[in-house]
Structure 1
């Protein structure tokens, strides 16, 4: 059951999309500390145990990145807009845009390969900042029956996050050489947009999987009839 402080929309409301924009934006703030009954972990910060981006080879990047104990701050400050959803009949999808002023990512990292002109074999702490983010997301879902009630399951979640400005801060990116590490990070920030274009798709794919799991934690506990007003 949804907690009473989460306001619902009606599937038959001709202004359903605008309602979803308002209610989802509000729910993110109210659920920032998580909710055990819904299986939602705290959203502020949002913690991801491990992100392995694999071997990304694109443009000036050929690198294997692993992030552990990742903490994302600022995601609940998003404003949802442009919802396009349908949960009636056989339809089950929700497309929307999120505008987020800033996200700070703190993590342990390891990185090996080539970045721009530099051979990289670094590890340590990183704090990266993403500003003025426009995120475009699309959830496709399906219905199933459990205990004579109908539930949603997200079958696919497309995650696309595009920041207007990025600031990288990796310590020890050239292992054991502090001065050269600073120069590499400086160069990264001078080319931040092109670097993010190369590594962004892999990050988006991982985050899409994370959000799919998060949404399904909720949908597995709350039947369709309790998610919406008549």
Structure 2
């Protein structure tokens, strides 16, 4: 008991108690800060769940609230299987959207507007002009140049062209010169019909081919370039509506493309293992008969363009709510 009467020891106990209280206060402040951060970042459904018994009426199954006791009482712990809401918020912050403003590259059109087609055509042109450098927030790569890892061409039968060919390391230039001529929307199915024109494309690739073009047997491997000009393209995009965290989005179901070409020039290097005279005469023959060749390859090229358009639209529609395309969406 003598040590408890010691003034220095009692003073040490007093300081220790003060330090203990301060540590407890700091711990409480940190816990509160984390709680408020989680509260303000949570969705309205999550906040409502916290006030209830841990189950959100009518909410998707992926939103589950588990209550775990701790020293400060029950604190809700939110489990999101996909964390869709946070992902969507992050995307729109990157786009400068903030859920209440139109994304900077969007022009909202309304079904009730008699000039809807004009507005929609301008809106699609704005998108094309804005995504030429890509949209990293949506995973859209730059359109110029646009890179395609591989294109396979398998054209058999008795037609003018019979080829087994592949193009790798494909680079397409000129897509940013696309002019949108018209964009119409079916208000019942929300299918998009878009007519566009591309003055000129330049396609560079490494090719491998074996087959026949018209009456000419052909074989080769090396660098190639193609320059189609005056492309008139009509795309039909079938869409459905989907809901994610109470927000409506378009979903691409199918893309069909039809096109015509005003002119086509191309060059295949290293044909016939580098026999220069035969290579030159074959390229001249191909360019002289480009219409037959383009017609035979049209189904394959249409599918390639459709895949390209579908990839870009899927990423765009996946990240931007449908109301920013059509404001009075029902």
- Place the TM-score, normalised by the shorter chain, in its bin: over 0.9
Matched residues in 1 for 2:172 and 2:157: separation?
A: 25
Question: Which sections of structure 2, spanning at least 5 residues, go unmatched?
Answer: 1-91, 96-102
Out of 183, 193, 196, the position equivalent to 1:95 is 193
- In 1, Cα distance between equivalents of 2:157 and 2:308: 23
Checking the alignment, whether the CA contact within 8 Å between 1:53 and 1:206 is kept in structure 2 is no
Greater C-alpha Rg: 2
Task: Kindly indicate whether the alpha-carbon contact (under 8 Å) linking 1:107 and 1:125 is maintained by their aligned counterparts in 2.
Answer: yes
- 1:18-47: per-residue Cα shift (whole Å, max 9, x none)? 112122123212210101112211001111
Instruction: Pick 1 or 2: higher relative contact order, CA cutoff 8 A, min separation 6.
Output: 1
Instruction: State TM-score, norm by structure 1.
Output: 0.92
1:8 pairs with one of 90, 105, 108: 108
Matched, 1:177 2:300: no
| Cα-Cα RMSD | 1.7
Deviation at 1:213, TM superposition (A): 2.0
Post-superposition Cα deviations, 1:45-94, rounded to whole Å, max 9, x if no partner, equal 111111112234462111012111111111121111232213x4x42101
Alpha-carbon offset, residue 4 of structure 1: 1.3
- Partner Cα separation in structure 2 for residue 28 and residue 170 of structure 1: 31
Unaligned runs of 5+ in 1: none
The structure with more strand, counted as a fraction of residues: 1
Checking the alignment, whether the CA contact within 8 Å between 2:106 and 2:325 is kept in structure 1 is: no
1:164 matched to which residue of 2? 262
- Structure 1 CA distance for aligned equivalents of residues 124 and 190 of structure 2: 17
Q: How far apart, CA to CA, are the structure 2 residues paired with 1:61 and 1:99?
A: 26
CA distance 1:68–1:58, shift in 2 (3 Å): farther
Secondary structure at the aligned position of 2:153 is classed as strand
How far apart in 2 are the matches of 1:25 and 1:95?
14
Cα shift readout 1:110-148 (whole Å, capped 9, x = no counterpart): 111111222222111111101111111110111122222
In 2, the alpha carbon distance for the partners of 1:199 and 1:58 equals 13
- The one of 44, 69, 72 equivalent to 2:169 is 69
CA distance in structure 2 between the aligned counterparts of 1:64 and 1:27, rounded to whole angstroms: 36
- 8 A Cα contact 1:111 1:173, kept in partner: no
Which of 224, 233, 242 is the matching residue for 1:126?
224
Q: Secondary structure at the match of 1:13?
A: coil
Moved more, 182-191 or 113-122: 113-122
